[in-house]
Amino acid sequence: MTAAATLAVTRAPVVAALHISKRYGGVRALADVSLEILPGTVHALLGENGAGKSTLVKILAGAVRPDEGEISVSGRALALNSPAEARRAGIAVVHQELSLFPALKVVSNVYAGNETHGPFGWMHSGEMRNDLRRTMAEIGWSISLDREVGGLSLAEQQMVEIVRAFHFRADLVLLDEPNSSFTETESKALYDSIRRFRERGQAFLLVSHRIDEALTIADHVTILRDGRVVHWAPAAAMTVRDAIQLMVGTASKESQSRRPTSDAAAPTRLRALHVCAGRLRNLSFDLHQSEIVGVAGLEGSGVQEFFDALFGARRLEGGALQLGGVDYRPRSPADAIRYGVASIPADRRVDGLMMNRAVGENIVLVTLAQLGSKLGIVRDSAIHKAAQRFISRFRIRVASTDTSVATLSGGNQQKVVLSKWLALKPAILLLNDPTRGIDVGAKFTT
């Protein structure tokens, strides 16, 4: 008997997914997937965008029902027909896309639907706050409990989601890209907390495109490709290169990539002179043609203001911008687009996509005028042809260009955002965390 088999005998799985299959229209999301998560372990679930990871998480969380197969919790088959049933079964989830109430305070979001009440129905606000502060101290984060969630940064909102899942001591915590907006320090605090909670017997299913981090913290690894399990192994027996090859089905392209070199003699495309906007103060730089300039900073350092000012979403408070040697002072994003400036935002769902519209419509949104006839009529066939080119180029997993973008995985949604702006052929492309939710294969493709 192998070590893994011995472990399975001595400790029954917290949750087991057995022969799970799921289709969305003509797209097969999962096919005969089985997975066991043992108590006191971290199980990493890896795969390319569209491999089925988020669909499996949603099934385990009770948000989606499988077409075939069953879920077993502590050895008992359960039909998880809703997120509420999953919570009652001891399963908590941190989705890749946030599910918070922007108008409510942090404490209200964490306790939503699980408030502590006294014998006469009064909420024990003081007890709830003290208990929540203890959880935050355990994790190593500090957020004001009375701040409205809508006023928090994307990373802080992600923290609230995680705190909510950790706070109720679920038997299994599902983490779908939990630290995609985190700094290295914030990620370290999260993983330290996972290790502490794991020692107490909690189990975790971790979905992450940060493969090196996942292999470092995980006990077991399952890899999905095209909706099927292609490999299971102890994490200690797998390397990053092994994982990438299994995910994409080919040898890693990493060794083929080259670091771009800049030409100092190339024309200056964009110049910033002593720019001030919000926290941003006295920033100056030159961006040359065919050059990539990296921007890095901790949360609150001014990175967001930097991108907002360049894209016309925030007014300059001082300094000047020049585009191709001409003064550039965009009054709005539409103004910036007319100058040939495009922006990939940090929050794709809020700022990058029309979530209730089709994939094709999203991809051609900013180039729609170019597809019309002399009378301004845009045919469906023109939209389909233009969108299909990017669907093929970036391997966007979608049944057709008419599929709602809301049904796509987070990584595939990000590819749609990239496609939309690359279709414009912009002079300047602003990329604010562009590979958030993008798998390793797509990173090298783009």
Residue 109 pLDDT class (50, 70, 90 cuts): confident
Question: Is 256's pLDDT higher than 50?
Answer: no
Strand order in the sheet with 68-73: 27-37, 15-24, 68-73, 76-78
363: CB partners within 8 A, 6+ apart: 386, 387, 390, 391, 401, 416, 419, 420, 423
Residue 71 pLDDT class (50, 70, 90 cuts): very high
Judge whether 49 and 29 are in contact, CB under 8 Å: no
Instruction: Give CA angle at 41 (40, 47), nearest 5°.
Output: 155
Residue 67 pLDDT class (50, 70, 90 cuts): very high
Average pLDDT of the segment spanning 197-203 = 90
Going by the DSSP 8-state scheme, the letter that residue 406 receives in this structure is G
Judge whether 428 and 323 are in contact, CB under 8 Å: yes
> How many CB atoms lie under 10 A from the CB of residue 104?
15
Average pLDDT of the segment spanning 73-101 = 87
Question: Is 251's pLDDT higher than 60?
Answer: no
CA-to-CA separations, 377 to 274, 354, 358, 359, in angstroms, rounded = 45, 21, 18, 20
| Residue 425 structure tokens | 């052929």
pTM: 0.63
Q: Given this model, what pLDDT does residue 203 score? A: 95
Strands of 39-187, DSSP E: 42-47, 68-73, 76-78, 91-94, 172-176
Question: Is 253's pLDDT higher than 90?
Answer: no
Distance in angstroms (rounded) separating the CA atoms of residues 423 and 36: 43
Domain 264-339 has CATH 3.40.50.300: yes
Percentage of the chain modeled with pLDDT above 70: 87
Distance in angstroms (rounded) separating the CA atoms of residues 186 and 207: 17
The CATH architecture one would assign to domain 348-446 is 3-Layer(aba) Sandwich (3.40)
Stronger pLDDT, 169 or 226, i.e. the higher one = 226
- As annotated, the residues of the chain forming the CATH 3.40.50.300 domain(s) are 3-252, 264-339, 348-446
Distance in angstroms (rounded) separating the CA atoms of residues 255 and 14: 39
Question: Is 441's pLDDT higher than 70?
Answer: no
Distance in angstroms (rounded) separating the CA atoms of residues 174 and 84: 15
CATH code of domain 3-252: 3.40.50.300
Q: Given this model, what pLDDT does residue 264 score? A: 55
Tell me the per-residue pLDDT of 115-173, one tens digit each, with 9 for 90 and over. 666 665 566 677 888 888 888 888 888 888 888 988 888 788 888 888 888 888 889 99
Residue 34 pLDDT class (50, 70, 90 cuts): very high
